[in-house]
Amino acid sequence: MAATSIQQNHDRTRCDVLVVGAGPAGSTISTLLAERGWNVHVLEKDRHPRFHIGESLLPHSLPMLERLGVLSEIEKIGIVKYGAEVVSPYHGRSRILYFSKALDGSQPFAYQVKRAEFDKILIDNAVAKGVHLHEGVRAKHVEFRPGSTHMIHAQDETGRSLTYEADFVVDASGRDTFLSSQLGGKSRNPHHNSAAIFGHFEGVRRLPGRDEGNISIVWFDHGWWWIIPFKDGTTSVGAVCWPSYLSTRKVSLERFLWDTIALCQPVAERMANAKLIGQAYAAANYSYRRTTMRGEGYLMVGDAFAFIDPVFSSGVHLALNSATLGAEVVDAYLRKSPDYAIHAKEFERLVRLGIKTYSWFIYRFTQPAFRALFMSEGSIFKMEEAVLSILAGDAFGKSPTQVPLFLFKLAYYLVYLFNFRDNQAAYRRRRRGVPETVTTVQDYAVPQP
Ligand SMILES: Cc1cc2nc3c(=O)[nH]c(=O)nc-3n(C[C@H](O)[C@H](O)[C@H](O)COP(=O)(O)OP(=O)(O)OC[C@H]3O[C@@H](n4cnc5c(N)ncnc54)[C@H](O)[C@@H]3O)c2cc1C
C-alpha cells in the first residue's frame, strides 16, 4: 500500500487519492477507498449543508446507500416514493407507475430527500470512515506528471494557495466539470438541449394517502414539470424547458417561475395556495458528455463525466453507481493489480450503458408517440414491467429487460410511423425550440407489436 501517513507542511499535503467535490459521487468513492485503507482527501469548494438540486432518488440506489452504511439515516430524512405520477394535459388524464410492478420487484420504493441533508449524511459518513475533508477549498489546476504523483493546486476561502500531492485524482466536481475545463473534450449533447427553473415551496397540494411521497411529472407546452414532496411538508417544484423559452425572460426569475407555473394548469391547480421559500433557481443549458472518462492516474465520476436530462431522476443513481465502480478502478491502480485493465474496462462499459439506457427515453420523452405509450394502460410481453425496471434504476443489465425493451421501442416506432406527421412536426418544433400547444385532448391508438 502507498503512503498512508499524512505529511503536511505549510501548503502541501501528501495523499494517495485526491477527490475534487463532496457531492454523492465524491462522498461515495472516498468512503469506499478509505474503507480499503487508502489515505483520501476531498476538496469541497462549498460547505455542507448546502442547497443542491437532484432530490428524487431511485429504488436501486438503496442497496448502494446500505452498503455505504447510511440507509437508516436517509430513511429518517426521506419521504417514501412508491412511484411516479405522469400527468398529460394532452390526454386530459394522469396515471401512476409503481416500482413494485418492475421485473425485479425487490426494490419497490425510494426516497425524496433534501440534498442539503442527504449530501451532509454522505460526507459525514465519509469523514467517520477516515476521509479528510477540506471544505471551502476550490481545486484550481492539476499538474499531471506521468509516471509520478500529480500536483493539485487549490485555493481556500481566504485566497491562500494550497497544494496536494496525490497518486490518483478523482474528478467528482459535478456540473462544474473541473477536469474537463482544464483538459477539454467535453461537448454539449446535440440530441438534447434544455434548461431548468425551480424552487422550494410550502402549501403545494399532495397526492392522497400512500401516494403522498410520489414524484409527479407533468408535460406542458415548453417541456415538463417535476413536483417532489419532502418529509417536512415542503415541496420542490421545477420546470425543464427548451432554452428558447427561458431566453424570453424579461422579469425576475421568481416572477418568471410563477408566470411559467400559470402556463400549466395541473401544476397551477396544485400550487393555488403555494408560497416560495427562499429564492428561485435556474440551471442553464446542461446536457453534455466528455469523450473519455479516465486517463493515467485520474478518472471522472458522476456529473463530472456526463450529465443527462433529469426527467427519470437518474442523476444521483448514476453518480453513486459510477463512484462505486470507480472505487474498484482506483484501488486496482494503487495496488498495481493485474486486474486494473479489467476493472477500468468494466467501469467504462457500465457507466456508458447506464447513460445510453436513459438517453433513449429522454430524447423521446416529449414526442407524442412516447406520451401515447406512457399513458396507455395494460402491458403485454412485460413491456411496462421492463420500462418500470429502468425507471427504478435497474439499468445495468441485472434484470432480463432486453427483449421487452426491444418490443417497447418497436411499439414506439410503430406509433410514431402511424402518426408520422404529428410526430415529425413535434420533432421539428423541438429542434427549433417552438412550443407545442395543447389544442385538443386526443388519444392515439397504441398498436402492440
Ligand atoms: C434541474 C435538475 C434537476 C435534477 N433532478 C434530479 C433528481 O430528481 N434526481 C436525481 O437523481 N438527480 C437529479 N438531478 C441530477 C443531480 O443533481 C446530479 O446528477 C447529482 O447531483 C450528481 O452528483 P455528483 O456528485 O456527480 O455532483 P454534485 O452533486 O454536483 O457534486 C459536486 C460537488 O463538487 C463541488 N465542486 C465543484 N467544483 C469544485 C472545485 N473546483 N473544487 C472543489 N469542489 C468543487 C461542488 O460544490 C459540489 O458539492 C437534477 C439536476 C438538475 C440540473
Residue by residue, DSSP assigns 393-443 as: T--SS-S--HHHHHHHHHHHHHHHHHTHHHHHHHHHHHHHTPPP---S--P
Residue 175 CA: nearest ligand 1 atom is 30
Angle at 303 between CA 47 and CA 289, to 5 degrees: 150
User: What is the model's pLDDT at position 449?
Assistant: 40
Alpha carbon 176 to its chain's center: 14
Q: Establish whether residue 23 lines the binding site of ligand 1, counting it when its CB lies within 6 angstroms of any ligand atom.
A: yes
- Please, which pLDDT band fits residue 399 given cuts at 50, 70 and 90? confident
Q: Establish whether residue 20 lines the binding site of ligand 1, counting it when its CB lies within 6 angstroms of any ligand atom.
A: yes
- Please choose from 41, 50, 175 the residue to mutate so as to test ligand 1's pocket, defined by most ligand atoms within 8 A of CB: 175
Cell of 217: 411529472
48 or 412: which leads in pLDDT = 48
User: What is the model's pLDDT at position 433?
Assistant: 65
Looking at this protein, which amino acid is placed at residue 136?
A: G
User: What is the model's pLDDT at position 106?
Assistant: 87
Residue 28 CA: nearest ligand 1 atom is 25
Residues 150-167 have a mean pLDDT of 96
CATH class of 193-283: alpha beta
Number of H helices, E strands in the chain: 14, 20
pLDDT, tens digit (0-9, with 9 covering 90-100), for 159-174: 999 999 999 999 999 9
User: What is the model's pLDDT at position 417?
Assistant: 86
The mean of the pLDDT values for the chain is 90
99 or 385: which leads in pLDDT = 99
User: What is the model's pLDDT at position 435?
Assistant: 62
What is the residue with the minimal CA distance to atom 13 of ligand 1? 54
User: What is the model's pLDDT at position 60?
Assistant: 96
240 or 194: which leads in pLDDT = 240
- Whether the model pTM is above 0.75: yes
Distance 22 CA to ligand 1 centre (A): 9
Contact by Cβ (8 Å): 218, 173: no
- Please, which pLDDT band fits residue 448 given cuts at 50, 70 and 90? very low
Among 161, 145, 184, 131, smallest CA distance to 18 is for 131
Ranking 18-32, 213-227, 433-447 by mean pLDDT, the lowest is 433-447
- Please, which pLDDT band fits residue 10 given cuts at 50, 70 and 90? low
Distance 297 CA to ligand 1 centre (A): 23
Residue 61 CA: nearest ligand 1 atom is 11
Residues 167-190 have a mean pLDDT of 91
User: What is the model's pLDDT at position 310?
Assistant: 86
Distance 289 CA to ligand 1 centre (A): 14
Instruction: Compute the chain's Rg from CA coordinates.
Output: 22
- How far apart CA 326 and CA 332 sit, in angstroms, is 10
CATH number for region 12-68+114-188+288-357: 3.50.50.60
Ranking 87-101, 124-138, 169-183 by mean pLDDT, the lowest is 87-101
Ranking 24-28, 35-39, 107-111, 388-392 by mean pLDDT, the lowest is 388-392
The boundaries of every CATH 3.30.9.100 domain in the chain are: 193-283
Distance 16 CA to ligand 1 centre (A): 24
What is the residue with the minimal CA distance to atom 35 of ligand 1? 21
Q: Establish whether residue 42 lines the binding site of ligand 1, counting it when its CB lies within 6 angstroms of any ligand atom.
A: no
Contact by Cβ (8 Å): 121, 405: no
User: What is the model's pLDDT at position 142?
Assistant: 97
Q: Establish whether residue 316 lines the binding site of ligand 1, counting it when its CB lies within 6 angstroms of any ligand atom.
A: yes
Among 376, 324, 329, 418, smallest CA distance to 122 is for 324
For residue 112, the cross-strand partners are: 56, 79
User: What is the model's pLDDT at position 365?
Assistant: 86
- How far apart CA 232 and CA 202 sit, in angstroms, is 9
Residue 318 CA: nearest ligand 1 atom is 19
Q: Establish whether residue 22 lines the binding site of ligand 1, counting it when its CB lies within 6 angstroms of any ligand atom.
A: yes
Distance 24 CA to ligand 1 centre (A): 8
Looking at this protein, which amino acid is placed at residue 372?
A: A
User: What is the model's pLDDT at position 377?
Assistant: 78
Ranking 43-57, 275-289, 332-346 by mean pLDDT, the lowest is 275-289
- Please, which pLDDT band fits residue 446 given cuts at 50, 70 and 90? very low
Q: Establish whether residue 45 lines the binding site of ligand 1, counting it when its CB lies within 6 angstroms of any ligand atom.
A: yes
Residues 146-168 have a mean pLDDT of 95
Residue 178 CA: nearest ligand 1 atom is 41
Instruction: Render the burial of 10-41: b for 16+ CB within 10 Å, e for the rest.
Output: eeebbbbbbbbbbbbbbbbbbbbbbbeebbbb
Cell of 43: 476538496
pLDDT, tens digit (0-9, with 9 covering 90-100), for 359-381: 998 888 888 888 888 888 776 66
- Please choose from 303, 358, 365 the residue to mutate so as to test ligand 1's pocket, defined by most ligand atoms within 8 A of CB: 303
User: What is the model's pLDDT at position 384?
Assistant: 82
Q: Establish whether residue 310 lines the binding site of ligand 1, counting it when its CB lies within 6 angstroms of any ligand atom.
A: yes
Q: How would DSSP label each residue in 166-195?
A: EEEEEE--GGG-HHHHHH--EEE-TT---E
The boundaries of every CATH 3.50.50.60 domain in the chain are: 12-68+114-188+288-357
- Please choose from 176, 177, 180 the residue to mutate so as to test ligand 1's pocket, defined by most ligand atoms within 8 A of CB: 176
In the predicted model, is pLDDT for residue 334 greater than 50? yes
